[in-house]
Every structure is written in C-alpha cells, then in structure tokens.
Amino acid sequence: MKIISDIQDLRDQLRGQNRAVFIPTMGNLHEGHLSLMRLARQHGDPVIASIFVNRLQFGPNEDFDKYPRTFEADVEKLEKEGVYVLFAPTEKDLYPEPQEYRVEPPQNLGKILEGEFRPGFFEGVCTVVLKLFSCVQPKVAVFGKKDYQQLMVIRQMCRQLALPVDIVPAETIRAEDGLALSSRNGYLSAEERSEAVQLIQTLKEIQEKVLQGKLTSADILKIEKDACAKLNARGWVPDYISVRKRNDLLSANDADLSSNQPLVVLAAAKLGKTRLIDNLEI
C-alpha cells in the first residue's frame, strides 16, 4: 500500500484510474470501517482510503484535539484489506491556506438533527468531502449508514453539484450487544460501555411501536418524548430521538403515516462526556 500525503503525488499515482473506489475516514479504524473497505472492493478498483481528522467539522467545544489518532495500527489494517493507496494529508497539505470557499448544505437538511446540535458540522463535512473527491477523483465512494444524515447530505451534494461519484451506502456494524461501532465508543468507561446498549434498545422499542401501525403524528411525538425521558432517567442527556421520513429526514405527518412512507428513527445522546449517535430504519 502506498501512503501519500501530497495532493500532486496522489494525482500522479492515480492518473488513468477511472474505476477507483474511495472510502474517506478520520482514522482510528475499527471493523465498521473495514467492512466499508470490503464493500468497496465489490464496486470498483483500486480501493483508495483516506485518513484525515477534519478540523472544519468540529465545533469549538468538541473533541478535535482528543479524537483518537492511531495511524500505525490503521495502516496495518488497511494493508491487510488490500487498499492500494492511503491518502493521509496533513492539515497543511489539505488546507495550505484558510479554507474560505465552503459548501453549505440546504437548511432543511443541513440544519436539522445533527446540524441543529452541531452547528457547522455538515458544512465542514461537505467541504472536506468535496475536496477529497477532487483530489482522489473516484468513480464510487462508500459511506456508512451509521452516519445516516451525513450519507444523505453527501448524496444530495453529489446530485446537486453533478459530481461524477456514485455514493454506495454500507450497513452499520454492531458489537455483539448491538452497540453501533464508533471511534467514540473508546471514550466510554466500562460502566458506560454496558449502559451504551440502551441507545439501540430504545430505537428498537420505537421501531416495534411504529411497526404495530395506525399511529398519528401526535402518537409519534409522545413516543419520542417518552424515549428521551427513559434515557434521561438512566443518566443520559439526549439531544434528539426522532422518527423521520427516510427520503428527506423531515417529520412524518398523518398522511405520510397512513400511506406507510418509509421511516427511520435517529438518535443522539450523551452518556457522560461521550456523545453517541445511532439510527434504525423502520
């Protein structure tokens, strides 16, 4: 595997490749990331990964400084997965001057859910993903459904800006007890780690209630409120637990509910100092 940090070197290395498949990451790779690499192989060749902890998508009080950086272990894992090139730019390589041109997603998608609680997050994500796409010029890119809203924001960015990149979604990989794998799980104490499973349990309970059918939008609001209260009573601080339509991530009205629009329930909640997100399609 070639490890390249310079944009021009990357372009030289990838010249003539027109089926490249790309997996952008922020490193600290776990089985979830590795499953993206394996899925990528089915969609193109060669497989290109990137590791870059993108300052633009972190708020001033978020975990940019303490975000786990495990470069050597990551390289070993990517080598085993047969990745052809790892693009690992430094901040100077990717942002040699202040990044003043930014991509701002539309309010109705970019400022809800994660966008409401992490102002500037999706602007930071879209800006870096567009820039990484411009460096790698992949035919296909793979994103995990664990970051459900991110996947949708990036898909729409590609569509609206006519970027010639197919976005492939990958299923969430979970630990045996159901907790979605995430680099941030490493922040949890042993006690928090056993409590963390309550997040997906709560989503499963909501999924079950919604699937029983014949609910109004008022019923859904009550289910969401009760779920927040339940987690709260166990010591969590939920940002949101929300049932949304899969196609636009807006709330479902009574007509949507009675016409069985595909739904997804999304949640973000803090357990101690760790903020976890998860979602479940209904």
Contact assessment for residue 73 and residue 86, using Cβ atoms and an 8 Å cutoff: no
The contacts of residue 127 (CB under 8 Å, 6+ apart) are: 56, 99, 101, 102, 103
Q: Which stretch binds ligand PAF (CB under 6 A): 22-30, 81-89, 254-262, 264-272?
A: 22-30
The contacts of residue 29 (CB under 8 Å, 6+ apart) are: 70, 73, 74, 77, 78
- Burial 259-273, CB ≥16 within 10 A → b, else e: eebebbbbbbbebee
Among 147, 195, 224, 278, binds ligand PAF (CB under 6 A): 147
Position 128 contacts ligand PAF (CB under 6 A) = yes
CB of 23 to ligand PAF, least distance (A): 9
Q: Reply yes or no on whether 33 is catalytic.
A: yes
Position 125 contacts ligand PAF (CB under 6 A) = yes
Among 7, 17, 24, 115, binds ligand PAF (CB under 6 A): 24
- The torsion region of residue 280 among left (phi > 0), alpha (psi -120 to 50) and beta comes to beta
Closer residue to ligand PAF in complex, CB, 31/191: 31
| Given the residues 27, 29, 32, 33, the one annotated as active site | 33
Positive or negative torsion for Cα 160, 163, 168, 174: negative
Closer residue to ligand PAF in complex, CB, 150/198: 150
User: Measured between alpha carbons, how far is residue 182 from residues 76, 90, 262 in Å?
Assistant: 19, 23, 26
User: Measured between alpha carbons, how far is residue 64 from residues 11, 26, 113 in Å?
Assistant: 28, 11, 20
Position 123 contacts ligand PAF (CB under 6 A) = no
Q: Which stretch binds ligand PAF (CB under 6 A): 3-11, 24-32, 158-166, 271-279?
A: 24-32
End-to-end Cα, the chain, rounded Å: 40
Position 25 contacts ligand PAF (CB under 6 A) = yes
Position 129 contacts ligand PAF (CB under 6 A) = yes
Q: Which long-range contacts (CB under 8 A, 24 or more apart) does 115-118 make?
A: 115/149, 116/240, 117/239, 117/240, 117/268, 118/59, 118/62
CB of 28 to ligand PAF, least distance (A): 9
CB of 125 to ligand PAF, least distance (A): 5
Q: In residues, how long is the chain?
A: 282
Closer residue to ligand PAF in complex, CB, 129/188: 129
Closer residue to ligand PAF in complex, CB, 14/51: 51
Position 140 contacts ligand PAF (CB under 6 A) = no
Among 35, 54, 127, 172, binds ligand PAF (CB under 6 A): 54
Tokens describing residue 218? 């008022």
Closer residue to ligand PAF in complex, CB, 128/276: 128
Query: Which residues form the catalytic set?
Result: 33
Residues found near ligand PAF in the complex (CB under 6 A): 24-26, 54, 57, 125, 128-129, 147, 150
